[in-house]
Structure 1
Amino acid sequence: MNRLNSEAFVLFDQHILWSDMIGNIFGLIALALGWRRSIWSWPVQFLSGLVLFGAFYSHLTGSAGKQVVVMTVAGWGWWQWNRRRHQGEDGQISVRFATWRERAAMLAAAAAGTVAVALLFKAYPSLSWDPWPDAYIFVGTVVAMYAQARGMVEFWFAWLLVDLVGVPLNFANGYAFSGFVYVIYGALVLWGMRDWWLRSRRDSRPVLEGAPA
């Protein structure tokens, strides 16, 4: 693990750690697989969380704790997609927009969760150097993964909101590769959002009487 946390190279005066780079490459692959609605998105997400846990454990305990939650939700997401994978028209999971009630519930959970986690970080400063943005990213990531597991198009909107804070925070904390990858996440999120939005319209389209199923 010490070798994983050593410096890989320097890019634009930013010191890139092996663990930071490898963990985020896995995260990028997981997001791309999520775009394709591949069930392998979840084990790759789990592997990303495992590597990043090792990267953050000795330096940013709160970020390491986030990876434990990420790995837990990844396991749940794998189970959810295994259960629903044949519901889509092409043998993959079907996707849809959340209902207004689901959106309200996710927004309320995100707001309450962010406040609760930020207060926890403030009470225990060793958990985080930046309690509020760390809490926002922590809770936003969980909400995004929950929406992804349920096949909701809002998954992409949640990731986009996480990216807006994640990019500057990772650069500020010295995890430059995480910052660079979050920029790429932003591009993937926009493409994935469009793809899932179009698929949600096809998946929700009623089957005409007499037409082949």
Structure 2
Amino acid sequence: MGHWLSSHAFTVFGQHIIWSDLIGNAIGLIALALGWRRSIWTWPAQLLSGLILVVAYASAELTGGVGKQLLVIGIAVWGWTQWQRGRRTTGGEIPVRFATWRERGVLAAGTAAGTLAVGALFTAVPELSWNPWPDAYLFVGTLAAMVAQARGLVEFWFAWILVDLVGVPLAFSSGLAFSGLVYVVYFVLVLWGMRDWWLRTRSDAGPVPEGALL
């Protein structure tokens, strides 16, 4: 199964596309669209996408990318439970809101500290990543974005934009051309989804939960 997913699917503009890169990212696009629509099925889709993309990143020897997808799988399970709880609380709808300044501070500080820690680990242990700092940024940035999404925070869209700014060129330079192309589509969907969630904050306005992201 893994061998088949790592095999060549077709070639576009001299770039070889492998099946796991193609299928995993196609499902990832569906997951993003489901997240934009606030469908709880975004989480199973992200989990499945992560499982398949583990094969793609492993075949490209991108350890940081593999770690990122394992993180996606774990957060997808947690996000499912968070949104299930939100549906029970609100009668079926997933409420969205802007983060408090405290939550933004926690996200920003946690992302910066996490990137430094993971980057230092990847640098100290070269076997973990041949490109430590971009891999660390993608690894931790993905975690921050998915945590924000699970909490229904509009800022999760901004986090994905910042992740894509590094993810697109890294994917192309690593031979994962389809990932690079899909990231461009992601960018369009992110802008669309960000606008939709932004507008929904007006109708979903309500009490802001106490405390920061934990």
Quote how far apart the aligned CAs of 1:87 are: 4.7
The answer for the alignment partner of 2:211 in structure 1 is: none
Amino acid at match of 1:60: L
Partner secondary structure for residue 56 of structure 2: helix
SS where residue 2 of structure 1 aligns? helix
Q: Distance in 2 between matches of 1:114 and 1:85?
A: 33
1:125 is matched with 126
Once the two structures are TM-superposed, the CA of residue 86 in structure 1 deviates from its matched residue by 4.6
Indicate the residue corresponding to 1:42 in structure 2: 43
Match of 1:63 in 2: 65
* 1:153-176 CA distance string (max 9 Å, x none): 001000011111110000011111
Q: 2: CA distance between counterparts of 1:79 and 1:87?
A: 12
* Residue 126 (structure 1) shift: 2.0
Deviation, 1:61, is 2.2
Paired residue for 2:183?
Answer: 182
Match of 1:24 in 2: 25
For residues 181 and 33 of structure 2, the distance between their equivalents in structure 1, rounded to whole angstroms, comes to 16
Number of aligned residue pairs: give it: 205
Could you tell me which runs of 5 or more consecutive residues in structure 1 were left unpaired when the two chains were aligned. 207-213
Alignment TM-score, normalising by the size of structure 2: 0.92
Structure 2 residue aligned with 1:211: none
Distance 2:42 2:90 in 1: 17
Distance 1:202 1:62 in 2: 39
Match of 1:85 among 79, 84, 87: 87
- 1:97-108 equivalences under 5 Å are 97-108=98-109
**TM-score scaled by structure 1?**
0.93
RMSD, matched Cα: 1.4
1:51 aligns with 2:40: no
Aligned to 2:76: 74
Task: Name the structure 1 match of 2:212.
Answer: none
Matched-pair identity in %: 66
Bigger CA radius of gyration: 1
Q: Which amino acid aligns with 1:49?
A: G
Is the contact between residue 88 and residue 203 of structure 1 (CA under 8 Å) also seen in structure 2?
no
